[in-house]
Amino acid sequence: MECDQYVGMGTAVAEDGWSGFINIVVHPHHRGQGIGKRIVHELARWSRDQGADRLYLQVIADNAPAIRLYSGAGYEKLFAYHYRTKPTNSL
């Protein structure tokens, strides 16, 4: 692996004591090596440094790799959500 290649990334948005994690990804060839766990840890550390001591994230229910990652990092499911779309043939 070249040193200029990205294998993972994540984003945290901190506001009013909360920090939300989004866009956490690890290249499929590099999963299972602790990279995702490190990203989550570093996002949490950054969030704390910004004054956010409460963390949250959303994950699609059938995203098994992400659920394993977040469960392993100590996150628990609190709520479920779903999307709704308007039928294309209605006004």
Q: Provide the pLDDT for residue 1.
A: 47
- Within the chain, strands assigned E span 8-15, 18-26, 54-57
The upper half-sphere exposure of residue 72, i.e. CA atoms within 13 Å in the direction of its Cβ, equals 15
Q: Is the pLDDT of residue 3 over 80?
A: no
Average pLDDT over residues 33-62: 95
Q: Provide the pLDDT for residue 90.
A: 60
Q: Is the pLDDT of residue 2 over 60?
A: no
More confidently predicted of 85 and 45? 45
Nearest to 66 by CA among 26, 30, 7: 26
Q: How far apart are CA 75 and CA 67, in angstroms?
A: 9
Task: Name every residue whose Cβ is closer than 8 Å to that of residue 38 and which is 6 or more positions away in sequence.
Answer: none
Q: Are 53 and 17 in contact (CB under 8 A)?
A: yes
